[in-house]
């Protein structure tokens, strides 16, 4: 398996390599929610919701991805880093080693502006994206896969491209990456 911090695909790397993907307002609003337990005790918690920039990126994605992601953010905080890539963006990602594919072969490429079948997510904590927190990426993938299953959406994660549920035998891994299987 590749060393995670050295990955150069789809944003699985350090922020400077992401360049333009990180421009804009990535600030994170949170909702205060009150949880009521069966013994009538209540606890006030912070529930993350997607920031403005994340929502803009998410709007370029297929409705099934949007649905799963809007559920997942209630469980675990993350940023939507990359959705649809047009030809220019895809070729730039290829040149920078963030993608192995030319336009229009990537599932990030969609003919219409709102139907990317791939999305890149990254865990967000302590006011910043946690690029080097492998456990957080894996946790997020579990949340995403579980929600996708309950919604009946076949979802492939970049940490297990061969879909055999073994997270240690993929030659190429891309932890931020999720894509619809069909
Ligand atoms: Zn990707």
Averaged in consecutive runs of 10 residues, what is the pLDDT profile of the chain (182 residues)? 37 37 53 71 76 94 96 93 94 90 93 89 92 96 97 96 93 93 85
Q: What is the Å distance from ligand 1's center to 131 Cα? A: 14
pLDDT at position 142 is 98
pLDDT at position 113 is 77
pLDDT at position 2 is 33
Closest of 110, 48, 111, 47 to residue 82, by C-alpha: 110
Which domains are present in the chain? Answer: 7-180 (3.30.1380.10)
pLDDT at position 66 is 97
Q: What is the Å distance from ligand 1's center to 99 Cα? A: 7
Q: What is the Å distance from ligand 1's center to 69 Cα? A: 15
Q: What is the Å distance from ligand 1's center to 38 Cα? A: 41
pLDDT at position 7 is 36
Helix, strand or coil, per DSSP, at residue 79: strand
pTM, full prediction: 0.78
Q: Is the peptide bond before 104 cis (omega within 30 degrees of 0)?
A: yes
Residue pair 99/10 in contact by the 8 Å Cβ criterion: yes
pLDDT at position 97 is 85
Beta bridge partners of 123: 78
pLDDT at position 21 is 42
pLDDT at position 22 is 46
> Based on the number of CB atoms within 10 Å of its own CB, is 168 exposed (0-12), middle (13-18) or buried (19 or more)?
exposed
């Amino acid at each position: 398996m590749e060393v995670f911090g050295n990955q150069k695909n789809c944003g699985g790397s350090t922020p400077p390599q992401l360049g333009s993907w990180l421009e804009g307002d990535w600030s994170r609003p949170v909702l205060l929610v009150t949880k009521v337990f069966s013994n009538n005790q209540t606890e006030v918690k912070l529930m993350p919701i997607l920031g403005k920039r994340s929502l803009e990126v998410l709007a370029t994605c297929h409705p099934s991805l949007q649905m799963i992601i809007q559920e997942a953010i209630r469980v675990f905080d993350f940023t939507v880093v990359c959705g649809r890539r047009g030809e220019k963006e895809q070729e730039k990602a290829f040149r920078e080693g963030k993608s192995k594919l030319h336009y229009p072969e990537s599932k990030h490429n969609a003919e219409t502006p709102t139907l990317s079948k791939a999305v890149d997510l990254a865990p967000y904590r302590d006011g910043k994206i946690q690029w080097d927190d492998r456990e957080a990426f894996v946790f997020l993938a579990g949340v995403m896969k579980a929600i996708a299953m309950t919604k009946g959406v076949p979802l492939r994660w970049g940490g297990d491209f061969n879909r055999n549920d073994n997270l240690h035998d993929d030659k190429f891994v891309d932890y931020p990456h999720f894509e619809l299987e069909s």
